[in-house]
């Protein structure tokens, strides 16, 4: 699947996460978004400073959480970093990841407000 076919925030992911809600407990989707944003901020910081080997491990974790939260383009970019061995290409990917995450972050905050 090419990146252009992927959704920035797949609505099905929100439905799936909300299906884990247990009555009378805190809002599970809000919890997941909060953890995602917190860990993603850390991941982005690490990617900008880490060497390729650490970056590959970080992007592996970030790909998994991006996929669950529905950020398909971001997950796809993380996968590209995971498998990238070219330092020039790696730097280009970091720029793309940062830009994509900025959009995802804004949409998730909107999604949180929408409930």
Partner 1 sequence: MAETNQNMDIPEMITGLCVLVVEDSEFDRALTIATLKKIGIGKIQVAENGRLAIAKIKNAIAVKKPFDIILLDAKMPTEDGMKVLGWIRGEPELKKQVVIMITATVSSEEVVKFIELGINGYVVKPLILGVLQSKIFEILNIPNKKKEQHVD
The answer to whether 56 and 79 are in contact (CB under 8 A) is no
Distance CA 103, CA 16 (A): 21
Binding mask 36-75 for partner 1 (x = CB under 8 A): x-xx-----------------x--xx-xxx-xx-------
Distance CA 42, CA 28 (A): 21
**Contact status: 21 vs partner 1 (CB under 8 A):** yes
Question: Hey, how many other C-beta atoms are within 10 angstroms of the C-beta on 79?
Answer: 16
Closer Cβ to partner 1, 78 or 93, answer by number: 78
Closer Cβ to partner 1, 17 or 94, answer by number: 17
Closer Cβ to partner 1, 28 or 44, answer by number: 28
Closer Cβ to partner 1, 15 or 95, answer by number: 15
Helix, strand, coil tally for the chain in percent (to 5): 80, 0, 20
Q: Which residues bind partner 1 (CB under 8 A)?
A: 16, 18-23, 28, 31-32, 35-36, 38-39, 57, 60-61, 63-65, 67-68
């Amino acid at each position: 699947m090419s990146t252009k076919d992927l959704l920035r925030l797949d609505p099905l992911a929100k439905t799936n996460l909300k299906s884990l809600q247990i009555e009378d407990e805190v809002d599970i989707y809000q919890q997941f978004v909060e953890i995602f944003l917190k860990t993603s901020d850390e991941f982005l910081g690490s990617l900008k400073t880490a060497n390729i080997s650490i970056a590959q491990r970080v992007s592996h974790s970030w790909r998994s959480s991006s996929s669950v939260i529905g950020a398909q383009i971001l997950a796809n970019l993380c996968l590209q970093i995971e498998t990238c061995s070219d330092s020039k290409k790696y730097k280009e990917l970091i720029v793309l990841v940062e830009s994509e995450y900025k959009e995802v972050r804004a949409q998730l905050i909107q999604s949180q407000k929408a409930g």
